[in-house]
């Protein structure tokens, strides 16, 4: 077990890029509503262009780069997964259903037994 510590260094340039991305998202929303009289094409064009600029600013910052690296690592791990065959998946599904039915019967039987013991034998309540 290693005790490596991860130190996150956030430069002022990264902070400025993230702040710029937030400002661009707010500007995109404001432009969408401000251009309501111009028509839907102008609204959607402004929204999409400004959101794309915000995404570009975010992904050039260190946070965005680490998010991309995380996504790539996740895809690499998913490719390593050994997926079950259709036959294996159907068998395991059958086992799960059978287990659920057995547990349902067991719980029902336990419930009825406790009901009989408590109400009929101990309390003497007859229905």
pLDDT for residue 37: 93
- Domain of 1 in residue numbering reads as 1-81
For residues 88 and 50, membership in a common domain is answered with: no
14 and 63 together in one domain:
yes
Judge if 52 and 22 occupy the same domain.
yes
* Interval 73-119: pLDDT, tens: 999 999 999 999 999 999 999 999 999 999 999 999 999 999 999 98
CA-based R_g, the chain, Å? 30
69 shares its domain with 52:
yes
DSSP string covering 88-127: HHHHHHHHHHHHHHHHHHHHHHHHHHHHIIIIIIIS----
- Residue 10: CB partners within 8 Å, gap ≥ 6? 62
Please state, in angstroms and rounded to a whole number, the distance separating the CA atoms of residues 16 and 20: 6
Total domain count for the chain? 2
pLDDT at 60 over 70: yes
Predicted confidence (pLDDT) at residue 3 exceeds the cutoff of 80: no
Determine the Cα angle at 52 with ends 23 and 35, to 5°.
Answer: 70
Q: Return the C-alpha torsion angle 98, 102, 107, 113, nearest 10.
A: 160
Q: Are residues 121 and 77 in the same domain?
A: no
* One domain for residues 95 and 74: no
Residues 72 and 91 in one domain: no
């Amino acid at each position: 077990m290693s005790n490596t510590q991860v130190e996150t260094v956030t430069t002022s340039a990264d902070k400025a890029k993230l702040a710029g991305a937030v400002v661009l998202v707010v500007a995109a929303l404001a432009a969408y509503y401000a251009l309501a009289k111009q028509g839907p094409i102008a609204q959607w064009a402004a929204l999409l262009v400004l959101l794309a600029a915000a995404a570009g600013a975010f992904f050039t910052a260190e946070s965005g780069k680490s998010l991309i690296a995380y996504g790539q690592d996740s895809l690499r791990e998913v490719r390593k997964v050994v997926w079950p065959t259709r036959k294996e998946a159907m068998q395991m599904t059958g086992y799960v259903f059978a287990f659920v039915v057995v547990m349902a019967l067991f719980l029902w039987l336990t419930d009825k037994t406790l009901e009989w013991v408590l109400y009929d034998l101990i309390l003497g309540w007859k229905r």
